[in-house]
Structure 1
Amino acid sequence: MCDENKLADWARQTISRRQFGALGGAAALAACAPGEGTGVAQPAAAGLTERGVNFATADGTLDGFFVQPENGNHSAVILWPDIAGIRESKRNIARNLAREGYAVLVVNPYYRDVTGEQFADFAAFIADGGFKKVGPWRGKLDAPAIMRDATAIADWLDRQEGVDQAQGIGTQGYCMGGPFTIWSAAAVPSRIKAAASFHGGGLVREGNPMSPHNVLDKVDASLLIAVAQDDDAEAPQDKVTFANAAEAADVPATVQVYAGDHGWMVPDSPAYDAAAAARGEADLLNLYAAAL
């Protein structure tokens, strides 16, 4: 799990004062990047188009970042960020996925309280007391809220030029976004056909009927549950519980422990592991190729 003590320990062990200052400077530049929230397409990498977007949900106006190939119709993907929210590292993950032929929406999960980027990277999250800041925002992100969001998001995606409505929608989430993918798939089973959780926290919540592992009977999607090795060491039974629940619900699910610690998939995370991330990206693309 991504908790305050772990992040503080990461900061002490892996980010020196000089490195932290450099990251902070880079963060300030990234925060000034154009396109976020404007609704206007911005210059993107060759072959891609990208823009900040916003649209109505049952709870307000959701904002995010949308990137897709310039030409053709493509399967859509909903990307749920980790606790640090929407930022350049997540936009870059989306760009890389768009280069593979997907139309990707990076969601601002905190839109009920704030708009756009709040932390340029994990260094800024640590320096700015991120846990305290996002606590009230994150507290609103229960299963019903995410399921309402997913319903609105799927509807919006299906109305975008370049999104292939004949193909399923994928969704991927990191850290707190991991369970959001399962709730999303449960909310819109007719459209969401693949869901991937990377070092997701809270996939098994004993005694909670809305725990992700307890809503799999509502899911019609193939799943990739990529577990961090340190999370598995803390709760080794969770992967077994989830896999058993998926089998009971007849939901195809690959549940694997990866050789990386919590955050290994995210380039601006202190736990980023390039080799493990490459494996995760390959497994994600295989999932989407087969299910969408």
Structure 2
Amino acid sequence: MTPRALLWMVLLVVAGCRTTQPVTVTLPASLPEPPTVLLPWYDGWLLGGGKVLWWLRDKRPIHRWILPAAVQGGVVDPEGVLWLGTGAGLVRLTAPTAQPERVPLPALNRFPSVTTLTLDAQQRLWVGTAQHGVFLRADTSWRPVLAAAPVYALATTTDGTVWVGTGIGLFRQTSDGWLVYSEEGTANHGLPDNIVERLVALPEGLWVIMSEAVSFFPVDEVDHPVEFAYLGHPGNRIHDVVDLPESGYLLATDDGLVWLRELPHFDTHGGLRELRVMEYDLARPLSPASLALPDEPITRLDRRGNWLYLAGPSGLFRRLLPPAALAHR
């Protein structure tokens, strides 16, 4: 462990114990399920889990909506409109005072289960569904763009590439169509698993979270992903990831928060290879007490400048990143 990384750990623990630093927004009643949506919206935050969606502002819960089905993802477009994927179709909210509006899609089922959403480099809305593939909204019209199903995840990386995670592999948008990475893939287009459950796009690359493994695609070298097994044991799902400047990554997992100080390094040309990062001292679990957090699932993370936001069923928590993590931003 480098001196800088060790200092980051010490400062993070100390910072979490300061009673004057954390800003907590506690909900009147816990969400029925761990959060699946955490988004900045109208000078506040949207926090949702199960059928319940809250708008938080000025350190308190302001407004609550009950959705037609459990919320599965969300995005805010350039006009400030909130788009939500639910088990009963696509929903939009135009303002904090508005009511949720269901939006039909051009599919056999006009209100299919919408599992994921993203905005591309042109700020167009992409919508993934459980049974009807992916749809693209251009201006005010919709068109199908990929028929693969089920779709679990969508993401747009900083180079403008749209990625689609499905039950049959990972699809990467190219100028010639779709390039597929799968367990049956050849050359540089293989993945350790076909079931891509979640995609997290960060400035330096794309996290591909699968049912039995994790891959990381650097933006400047997408043909050679870094691949490793789950943190500690197979089946420890990763719900979210944020980058910590000069100090690695923070991951929200089934086993709690984990600090990954760097990506695993090994020969990417030697074929698929498993690596248990806990066994290689690359990752450290962080106890809720060390960060002054309640003992509950933290499933959504966000970083805004030098502030880290963590969401659990009982509300939203803010922690200040230590100076060591920001020294070389």
Which protein is richer in strand relative to its size? 2
Rg larger for:
2
Higher helix share: 1
Same fold (TM over 0.5): no
TM-score, normalised with respect to structure 1: 0.32
